[in-house]
Amino acid sequence: MINVFKKVGTGVAITAALMAFSVPSMSAEALDIGKVGVAAKIEGLERVTQKLVPPPFLPEHNQVAKGGPKIVAMTMEIVEKEMEIAPDVFVQAMTFEGTNPGPMIVAHVGDYIELTLKNPKTNSMVHNIDFHAATGALGGGGLTNVAPGEQVILRFKATKAGVFVYHCAPGGVMIPYHVVSGMNGAIMILPRDGLKDAKGNLVAYDKAYYIGEQDWYIPQDKDGKYKRYDAPIMAMGDTMEVMKTLTPTHLTFNGKVGALTGENAMTAKVGETVLFLHSQANRDTRIHLIGGHGDLVWTGGSFDDTPTTNRETWSIAGGEAGAAIYTFLQPGIYAYVNHNLIEAIMFGAAAHVSVEGEWNNDLMEQVQKPGPIQ
């Protein structure tokens, strides 16, 4: 299948058999003319460079698209490095741009995403990228395999509105190994005319956060101490044994237990509307904002669906991203958790939102402080 792409792209004649299978009514020549026309049309579009930023933040973007479709170009470097995912617990991580999750990409329906993916020669593995938002060639995975020292440029059209996972998928057992070594992220494709509530009215957010949940499978020695390795390939055998139990040793929001709690909490003010984007590339989860709600939730991540309302907990399936919007009405610390509370509290899948503002006694009041039973 990939060879078909290459042949069309380089103008080599396609065999009659392949033509009969894939494009029965067009000659190879006509197909090439079509390709040239498409390339000219795309290359005539306005080109913008998106500066990616580390999660939980999103790159600068317009909520409602300005002007027509654009080429949204960005570069991602693949970084293999040791990461501390909990105090004194280390993993030979594989990442996009050095973070887990990788950076959120934002574009609008009709835009073309043009990614330059670099695999520096200091890395040890072949990597690629499979965009769940893209159509064809294994989400781009079939066209983006890069060995250490190589780069590739992939362009795809954003045709589906929603928030979608991307991840490395280099083949065989390397697929789950790279994904659970941290190599995943998400892309948000907004409708050109913005997000809509359940009644079809435009919804604007004051800020947005991206939370990437990761399941980790860290091998332990005979004394129960978490083992440390010198390279991804050296950790692979032991890690596979833990992976086969389907029971993670750690679950993190943004790469480390506590990455988004305490001083690292997400922030908001009373009256602000916050968009929370959540991805889990490998394993099911369920999200709950303790003390708040999902005012609007796009479970499954499609912005073409009518959002559900007033949600207490919403599911994110493994291999999926989802979106929820909430307007904060009370100050204080909110916990944003995976509401398998064992996974939140004992495995690490928890974050905080610190909200400033005036308390509203109409919504909640401590009528009597705790004291002796009368």
Please give the positions annotated as active site: 127, 130, 132, 167-168, 178, 183, 288, 312-313, 339
Q: Of 239 and 299, which has the nearer Cβ to Cu ion? A: 239
How many helices (H) and strands (E) the chain has is answered by 6, 22
Long-range contacts of 36-45 (CB under 8 A, 24+ apart): 42/71, 42/112, 42/155, 43/71, 45/69, 45/70, 45/71, 45/112
Q: Does 167 bind Cu ion (CB under 5 A)?
A: no
| In the complex, minimum distance from the CB of residue 118 to Cu ion, in angstroms, rounded to a whole number | 13
Q: Residue written as tokens 């294994």?
A: 138
Q: Which one of the spans 47-55, 165-173, 217-225, 281-289 is the region binding Cu ion (CB under 5 A)?
A: 165-173
Region from 134-142, 172-180, 212-220, 363-371 binding Cu ion, contact rule CB under 5 A: 172-180
Tally Cβ neighbours within 10 Å of residue 273: 17
Is there a contact between 321 and 186 (Cβ–Cβ < 8 Å)? yes
Q: Contact between 168 and Cu ion (CB under 5 A)?
A: yes
Task: Rank residues 127 and 352 by Cβ distance to Cu ion and give the closer one.
Answer: 127
User: Does 183 engage in binding with Cu ion (CB under 5 A)?
Assistant: yes
Q: Determine the interface stretch with Cu ion among 82-90, 166-174, 271-279, 290-298 (rule: CB under 5 A).
A: 166-174
- Cis omega (within 30 of 0) for bond into 307: no
Q: Which residues pair with 212 in a beta bridge?
A: 279
The residue number with the shortest CB distance to Cu ion is: 168
- Return the range that interacts with Cu ion (CB under 5 A); candidates 46-54, 94-102, 139-147, 201-209: 94-102
Nearest approach in angstroms of CB 309 to Cu ion is 38
Among positions 211-270, residues that touch Cu ion (CB under 5 A) are none
The contacts of residue 297 (CB under 8 Å, 6+ apart) are 307, 308, 309, 311, 314, 322, 323, 324, 325
Least distance between Cu ion and beta carbon 44 (Å) = 34
- The 3-state DSSP class for residue 290 equals strand
- Return the number of the residue (217 or 314) whose C-beta is nearest Cu ion: 217
Question: Shortest gap between Cβ of 76 and Cu ion (angstroms)?
Answer: 12
Q: Which of 111, 109, 320 is nearest to 194 (CA)?
A: 109
> Closest distance between Cu ion and the C-beta of residue 235, in Å?
14
How far from 286 is each of 59, 108, 186, 322, 338, CA to CA, in Å?
26, 27, 17, 10, 5
- The number of residues that bind Cu ion (CB under 5 A) is 5
The strand ranges marked E within 293-349 are 294-298, 308-311, 313-316, 320-327, 332-338
332 sits in the region (left: phi over 0; alpha: psi -120 to 50; else beta) called: left
127 lies in the site for Cu ion, by CB under 5 A: yes
Between 32 and 80, name the residue whose CB sits nearer to Cu ion.
80
238: its two tokens: 């032991």
Question: Which of the ranges 8-16, 28-36, 92-100, 363-371 carries the binding residues for Cu ion, by CB under 5 A?
Answer: 92-100
Q: Are 299 and 202 in contact (CB under 8 A)?
A: no
Our CB check for Cu ion shows the closer of 168 and 195 to be: 168
Q: How far is the CB of 56 from Cu ion (least distance, A)?
A: 23
- Residue numbers of the site for Cu ion (CB under 5 A)? 94, 127, 168, 178, 183
